[in-house]
Amino acid sequence: MSSVAVCPGTFDPVTNGHVDVIERAAAHFERLIVACLRNVGKQPLFQLDRRVELLRSATDHLGNIEIWTFEGLLVDFCRQNDVGIVVRGLRAVSDFESELEMAQMNHRLAGVETFFVATSPLHSFLSSTLVKEVARFGGDVSPFVPPAVCDSLRAQFAANRSV
């Protein structure tokens, strides 16, 4: 039996869809580690520290959440921290193929189990990528992200427009 799980992601930036999955997963574990990936290959909009700050502010109403960072393989992070369960949100059938592959690979590599949370239909169209695109061109993303993320996106893209 396990009382801890990890909810990994890039969170560039965290959206209301992520928060929904985190809240619902947190209700089923004593501790939920939200692990924010430092992707070496990708150039994120927000640096790792900022992504972590935004995650903290979006989840500070939850008492059993810890925000950590990781790089490299998720299964190594799981092994190092003695965590055997990964939680991921599933928005639609289109997520299923890649999520299934990752779940099977993580199980094959280290016996790590993946539990899926079906994303609320309210958020099923949401992704960090789409939110960034809408914000980049001045659209209102306030219904889709926590307030601090909305402010950060506005500031980030306003700064980009003024150069």
Q: Which residues are catalytically annotated? A: 18, 42, 91, 128
User: Least distance in Å: CB of 62 to ligand PNS?
Assistant: 19
Token pair, residue 154, equals 């506005």
Query: Which of 15, 16, 59, 106: binder of ligand PNS (CB under 6 A)?
Result: 106
Tell me the helices (H) and strands (E) count for the chain, helix number first.
Answer: 6, 5
Query: Which of 9, 13, 17, 89: binder of ligand PNS (CB under 6 A)?
Result: 9
Residue partners of 5: CB distance under 8 A and separation at least 6: 25, 28, 29, 31, 32, 33, 83, 85, 86, 87, 115
Cα separation values, 66 from 5, 47, 101, 123, 160, Å: 11, 19, 26, 23, 32
By CB under 6 A, which span of 6-14, 113-121, 138-146, 153-161 interacts with ligand PNS? 6-14
By CB under 6 A, which span of 7-15, 60-68, 112-120, 143-151 interacts with ligand PNS? 7-15
Quick check: bond before 146 cis, omega within 30? no
Strand order through the sheet with 4-9? 65-70, 31-37, 4-9, 85-90, 113-118
By the rule CB under 6 A, 73 interacts with ligand PNS: yes
Query: Which of 90, 105, 117, 134: binder of ligand PNS (CB under 6 A)?
Result: 105
User: Least distance in Å: CB of 43 to ligand PNS?
Assistant: 13
User: Least distance in Å: CB of 65 to ligand PNS?
Assistant: 17
Q: What is the C-alpha to C-alpha distance for residues 89 and 96, in angstroms, rounded to an integer?
A: 10
User: Least distance in Å: CB of 160 to ligand PNS?
Assistant: 22
By the rule CB under 6 A, 74 interacts with ligand PNS: yes
What is the contact surface with ligand PNS in residues (CB under 6 A)?
8-10, 37, 73-74, 102, 105-106
